A and B are shown apart, each in its own frame.
Chain A
Amino acid sequence: MSIPNIIPITEELISAHGLKPEEYQRILDLIGREPTFTELGIFSAMWNEHCSYKSSKKWLRTLPTTGPRVIQGPGENAGVVDIGDGDCVVFKMESHNHPSYIEPYQGAATGVGGILRDVFTMGARPIAAMNALRFGAPDHPKTRHLVSGVVAGVGGYGNSFGVPTVGGEVEFDPRYNGNCLVNAFAAGIAKTDGIFLSEAKGVGLPVVYLGAKTGRDGVGGATMASAEFDESIEEKRPTVQVGDPFTEKCLLEACLELMQTGAVIAIQDMGAAGLTCSAVEMGAKGELGIELDLDHVPVREINMSAYEMMLSESQERMLMVLEPSKEEIAKAIFVKWGLDFAIVGKTTDDLRFRILHQGEEVANLPIKELGDEAPEYDREWREIGSLSPLDIAEVEEPEDYGQALLDLLGSPNNASRRWVWEQYDTLIQGNSLQIPGGDAGVVRVDGHATKALAFSSDVTPRYVEANPYEGGKQAVAECWRNLTATGAEPLASTDNLNFGNPERPEIMGQLVMAIQGIGEACTALDFPIVSGNVSLYNETNGEAILPTPTIGGVGLIDDWNHMARIGGASSGDAVILIGGDCSHLGQSAWMRDCLGRAEGAPPPVDLMEERRNGDFVRSAIRNGQVTSCHDISSGGLATTLAEMAMASDLGMQLDFSACHGPAHALLFGEDQARYVLTVPADLSGYVMASAEGAGVPFRHLGAMSGDSLRIEGLMSVPVSALRATHESWFPAFMDVPEALAAE
């Protein structure tokens, strides 16, 4: 029986493929005839926002992407950065927002699967993962269901695959009620001379399909992810893929074995837009045509049309160009791991993307125009005016500072995330030196006595909303600061830009200005962007998410015997503030979460000061002078002190009387470029003299002591009370019968 591939092209069909009339006209001009149904699907897959970056490309080009350690910048499956001794770290962050809202478990699971595949496609063994998650208001009826499904999905895939999840973020805000965010990060280690790329080379070479079989799941997923949501969202469930971490683990081992044999000329994972996108990218990059015969594609369902096979987003699949002399060796490896290995096509010299099915040609398109010459827009954007700074005199001081701190620590956005990360395997591979709960996750580098890598993911969306440019800078600065707080040298970063509909000038303005801020901060801090992903159209019924440019960063620790943690201080250690007294309350977590006021400008980011203070902290840690360290971010100095006291299970005796300004700004303000260090009492004079010499503002706040966080004249709260409050919100929120019933 022959499977029908011919369907008439109508206006409705074109619009259902997310193609604008002018884009369809461009297709007609390009090929000089009406496209076939399969070709329309291919264009839709390649030219959607998710795959083509057509709205953001112009601005992404302005980001700094090079540096002395950068081996591979954006454009490949992941970025690659040299870490010395012949090793490199390969990493990227990518969103799976739209599918996770529709089907939280599978959406999140396949997000993790996709980013892991991006990393091992390049020849790296994954060693760490992170997840930046954002959900709607806790009292929104969908939130528990999404939290429960997304967290289980992230864990279900990552735990089974066998990568430690060492960091991430979880945040709630009503602006995510209609669109949750799932940003998955993965990093792996490879040899610098063992990196594999997607650029095809050589004419007439076999194109091989590897991994799992192709089904009908995820057909049109990338197009779905390039549109806003409305009431019809439930109908989109079939566009979400289904993950199989077992097959992915086998695929990892098979691919790494295969890469040792010299059989791989080029390799590309099948992610968004599956077979279409991977084949076009390999051909277009290598200036070659690709011919595929779909009769050889391993399928798990009968009667699949060419259209379905080309657009399926079935997971755990790879496409490679094979060195023909190694075919038997390569095949044996895949047989051993129980995976498919099928020659499905060949490279050609005519720059055409040709698809055969049942002996007929169902597509014949120019490969360059599909891939790297996709449409690009210079969308209209509007400058977003900054809010003026909030006058702190307008904010009343709380009557009881101890209670104010407890209120903050027990609020949804500041409570402990233990409920989440205890569902992730944080220890597998035996190299985890720091797990979630501190500033950054830290993992040892296998085969090296002292080297370790630090990972952090950060953004403060309320700052970006209030001032996209400063907010973009702050996301980079906070990530850089979190890495620094462990003693790591920040190496490079990846950006995952989540915004609303770019066809609205105010949203495009957020995107443009945030990228400008990110670019400036990355340049000033020598923290290039080596990979990334853009997720637009995060809107439901016209309401956009908070602008959320997540930054994932990687840092290098030369000797993990000299790193700092959030805990580990001893009684008697001096507590020292690095950076100035706080003078801002605008957009602070305390005002938002305890007073219900999201007002004023966010704290400005002075990148020179950021760098100077950070460099000082890092050198103090590396010189072995620091017993614990934590940066100051959301929740201000009070939150930092409380988190350090809980982590060390020790009180503090502090005196703020020498500080300038009102107590609520000192305690809860979020001025940037600041840290708290603890140092042995006999080194405190030396450390402060060094700070003075380096021109770094500092203040001796007091000492680790007793079992309460005691600030003279302001508060005295037992550490046990801090912990009970901090740890209780999340389990109380999630472990209720309604949450279980919703699963």
Chain B
Amino acid sequence: MKAAVILLPGLNRDRDMIAALTKISGQAPQTVWQTETSIDDDVDLIVIPGGFSYGDYLRCGAIAARMPVMQAVREKAEKGTRVIGVCNGFQILLEAGLLPGALMRNASLKFVCREVRLEVANARTVFTQGYSQGQVIRCPVAHHDGNYFTDADTLAEIEANNQVAFRYTADTNPNGSLNNIAGIVNKAGNVLGMMPHPENLIEPAHGGSDGRALFESALGLVGA
């Protein structure tokens, strides 16, 4: 499978993401600059990495979501291409309307960088099939605005549709997210947004490789 990483000014985990995809798939992903209006047909996985696109000025992800490249991401997503947004990438997907809900400032009102534990809430998505249902994995977080929120009806719908892919274990929720939500997929199951950084836990030097299976799943290297 061929991966592409979206580049916007202010993103800063792009190099981490490119390194992770390269190490796991054996080939460097394509990069797509914000002003591009289309993404190659043969791209099967689009990744929007973390960072502070446009400085997080206005609202996290709000300006990025309106750049030309996001229209191209939307068109590909509608055709079923897999899309992952991590951290700021998740915020951008929410602002672009590709996923439901919003991410508010952490309940502590402070930036938080630490390792948390995630429960795989739905192991049947194309992104999580390398994990087992209910498996608890380690994963780092690093964000200021990761407090997932949505209205009660949407929340009930997300839960009913099994759209929650990852939850923080109750004792490690770092930001006050509703229902301990750390990552969700869209209804069709081909768009994933998550706050934690699996790309920073993929090899022994990182002190573990619990994040690896996510990329292996998304790249079609394991499972179905």
Contact = CB atoms under 8 A, between A and B. Distances in A.
A338 interface: yes
Contact of A160 (B52, B109, B114): B52
A424 B113 CA distance: 6
Most B C-beta atoms less than 10 A away, residue of A160, A424, A560:
A160
B110 A423 contact: yes
Main secondary structure of the interface of B (DSSP, over half): mixed
A712 interface: no
Contacts of A433: 205
Interface string A139-161: 00000000000001001100111
Interface in B15-50: 15-16, 19-20
Interface residues of B, number: 28
Contacts of A162: 12-13, 51
A250 B9 contact: yes
B54 A246 contact: yes
B69 to A, nearest CB: 14
Contacts of A337: 9
A246 B199 contact: no
Interface of A: 152, 155-156, 159-162, 244-247, 249-250, 253, 337-338, 422-431, 433, 444, 560, 740
A245 B11 CA distance: 12
A269 to B, nearest CB: 20
Interface in B156-181: none
B111 A246 contact: no
Contact of A428 (B13, B55, B114): B13
A642 B37 CA distance: 58
Nearest to B18: A430
A90 B54 CA distance: 28
A427 B116 CA distance: 13
A155 B56 CA distance: 14
B197 interface: yes
A249 B111 contact: no
Contacts of B140: 427
A430 B200 contact: yes
Given A162-B12, A428-B13, A246 B112 contact: no
B111 A423 contact: yes
Interface of B: 9-10, 12-13, 15-16, 19-20, 51-52, 54-57, 109-114, 140, 142, 144, 197, 199-200, 205-206
Contact of A423 (B20, B112, B205, B206): B112
Contact of B12 (A155, A428, A431, A560): A428
Across the A-B interface, the 3 shortest Cβ-Cβ residue pairs: A246-B55, A162-B12, A430-B16
Contacts of B109: 740
Contacts of B19: 430
A253 B10 CA distance: 10
Given A427-B113, A427-B142, A444 B9 contact: no
Contacts of B12: 160-162, 249, 428
Contacts of B200: 427-428, 430
13 contacts: A155-B111, A159-B142, A159-B144, A160-B12, A244-B55, A246-B9, A246-B52, A250-B9, A250-B10, A422-B113, A423-B112, A425-B142, A427-B200
Given A152-B110, A422-B114, A245 B206 contact: no
Contact of B56 (A160, A338, A422, A444): A160
